[in-house]
Chain A
Amino acid sequence: MTIYLPIAELSVNIFIILGMGAAVGFLSGMFGVGGGFLITPLLIFYNIPPVVAVATGANQVVASSISGAITHFRRGSLDIKLGTMLLIGGLAGATVGIWIFSLLRSMGQLDLLISLLYVIFLGSVGGLMLWESLNAMRRAARNEAVALKKPGQHNWVHRLPMKMRFKKSKIYLSVIPIIALGFAIGILTSVMGVGGGFIMVPAMIYLLRIPTNVVVGTSLFQIIFVTAYTTVIQATTNYSVDIVLAFILMAAGVIGAQYGVRVGQRLRGEQLRALLGLLVLAVGIRLAVALVVTPSDLYSVVVGGMG
């Protein structure tokens, strides 16, 4: 059964999109990630114009992150003040990101930038994840204790000026790295169509030394608002949010996520991370191959609409 996507301006098989949404939703529930970094490349592989894939991906992340955000909000496991600082940076970053997005689109270099960013991020994050989980598995096999760096240790980040006290997180930290982190994630949200949790969470834990119990809730707080803002801005500047595509993806995604969570609770952490690492790496390699292989048609034509 085919369905016409009004903004992407093409007909697609609805079951493929549903399957894509459910599979990514399942994985996102299993691993506790937003899934934007898998949805957008998958849509591009399925010939959805990258402009539409990115804008629609941001919209889909809103849906996949909202239930987690509500849970954390209820439990109070988030630092609103810290989240607001991240959000200020995030909104500014998203605005700059949209500007870069539109500029590169008019230059015909947008598709390349999106692919390159995905190759870089998916390649490095996937590689690191795989490396780390394989090491953990080896240590577990030898029954060694896991030596994690303890939060609370100081690094260069803690010598920056403009310090602020965050009561909930029990930290006293400069706002500069927080806003800068939010800003960088905001750019990624608007250019890549991701929530950015897969970069923000490790950065908050290892770089800013924010206690783990508030990290996920606080990052979700930032992600919800930045992706929502990006969706509206993409809709008004590039007219590239495909609501039909987004709805199919999110409906399948949120259901898939519920089952993913259940399966995820039964699997072991390292194995889970190794699997995710492999998957992320595979998507990155597939995108890298597309950049290197000689295209069947060297020319591309853009007349008016999406390109």
Chain B
Amino acid sequence: MRRFLHLLAIVLCLSTPALAQIPLGPAQGDKESLQIGASTHEIAITSDFRGADLTIFGSVDNADQLLLAIGQYDIVVTLEGPKSDATVRRKERLFGIWVNRRSMTFEQVPRSYSLSSTRAVDTIATPEELNDLAIGIDHMRLVPIGYIGDGSSLGEFRQAFRQSMQSSGLYQRDPSGVRFVSPTLFRASLRLPANIPHGVHTVRAMLFKSGEFVTEKDLKLRVIKTGIEQTITDAAHEQPVYYGFFAVLLAVITGWSASVLFRKD
């Protein structure tokens, strides 16, 4: 309980609304459990947003003091964006020009992904375990849709997808982003890229003990975009007919008023 109050105190310093979000789960015997909280559950992004850091606080309960002291506990925190299908295309030369020839579509991949951990995920657990849990950019599930032939190009397309998402900043990792601030309390910083998609994001915190997965906790985070730009995007997608007519009307008014303003007589 003392530990819990400690956590409460830290989170309270950050912001008041967090109070409602601290999970009040009962301790489950001797097994370790994880508690996490964020200072907010909604992030409003203005049009001049250039990226930000999100801080997640958490505590490890019922931890073995000895293992904790020698650093046998590892924590991985991820922020997964809303999911949608992604198509990767490969250009090939055809009659001298570069043409998109082969493509592969992956089913329901996160549109953004940010990972933060106590150390590089590949040193925390075995590749098999990471694949199983779908943790990390190199281990997330990339399931192709439709016919993919003998599957020999699967690896190549997966690699291209990962590379492209990382170079656009939508997928990122920080292998030292989780720090223990006290023996059982930790703080994770997650990077929100400037082009973060709006929608419901999931914060996932996972606890490992000596390379073994122990438990995880989820938290929903809503990213909403605000400002005139977002109003325009919403209008374009929700009222496309009016939006189209408005675009035409704007063009007519602009063209017509210029001819009136500049009339010589």
Contacts and interface: CB of A to CB of B under 8 A. Distances in A.
A247 B250 contact: yes
A243 B232 contact: yes
A299 interface: yes
A243 B233 CA distance: 10
Q: Report the contact-size class of chain A (Cβ under 8 Å from the partner).
A: 35 or more
Q: Report the contact-size class of chain B (Cβ under 8 Å from the partner).
A: 35 or more
Contacts of A67: 255-256, 258-259
B243 A241 contact: yes
A251 B233 CA distance: 21
Contacts, number: 157
Contact of B90 (A244, A299, A302): A299
B167 to A, nearest CB: 8
Interface in B131-172: 157, 160-161, 163-165
Interface in B56-89: 84-89
Most buried by A among B96, B255, B256: B255
Contacts of B215: none
Contacts of A236: 240-241, 244
A294 interface: yes
Given A108-B100, A292-B97, A300 B255 contact: no
Binding site secondary structure of chain A:
helix
Interface stretch (A58-66, A152-160, A162-170): A58-66
Nearest to B157: A299
Contacts of A235: 236, 240-241, 243-244, 247
Contact of A62 (B47, B86, B96, B255): B255
Interface stretch (A1-9, A82-90, A273-281): A1-9
A112 B164 contact: no
A246 B250 contact: yes
Binding site secondary structure of chain B:
helix
A228 B248 contact: yes
A243 B100 contact: no
A292 B251 CA distance: 36
Contact of A299 (B89, B197, B256): B89
Nearest to B93: A294
A254 interface: yes
A301 B256 contact: no
Nearest to B161: A301
Contacts of B250: 63, 243, 246-247, 250
Contacts of B247: 59, 231-232, 235, 241, 243, 246
Contacts of B28: none
A233 interface: yes
A59 B248 contact: yes
B246 A243 contact: yes
B182 interface: no
A297 B195 CA distance: 21
Most buried by B among A63, A246, A293: A63
A299 B233 CA distance: 28
A7 B228 CA distance: 12
Interface string A234-274: 11100101011011001100110110000000000000000
B91 A298 contact: yes
B240 A6 contact: no
Contacts of A232: 241, 244-245, 247-248
Contacts of B237: 239
Contacts of B236: 6-7, 235, 239, 241, 243
Contacts of A199: none
B259 A108 contact: no
B161 A70 contact: no
Contacts of B195: 9
Interface in B212-260: 229-230, 232-233, 236-237, 240-241, 243-248, 250-252, 254-256, 258-259
B251 A66 contact: yes
A135 interface: no
Interface in A24-67: 59-60, 62-67
A109 interface: yes
B241 A303 contact: no
B21 interface: no
Contact of A7 (B48, B89, B233, B259): B233
Given A6-B230, A236-B244, A299-B164, A258 B262 contact: yes
A117 interface: no
Contact of B248 (A62, A244, A258, A301): A62
B229 A4 contact: yes
Given A235-B247, A247-B254, A250-B254, A71 B259 contact: yes
7 contacts: A71-B259, A235-B240, A254-B259, A257-B258, A300-B91, A300-B164, A304-B84
Interface of A: 4, 6-7, 9, 59-60, 62-67, 70-71, 108-109, 112, 228, 231-236, 239, 241, 243-244, 246-247, 250-251, 254-255, 257-258, 291-295, 297-304, 307
Interface of B: 47-48, 84-92, 96-100, 103, 109, 111, 157, 160-161, 163-165, 195, 197, 229-230, 232-233, 236-237, 240-241, 243-248, 250-252, 254-256, 258-259, 262
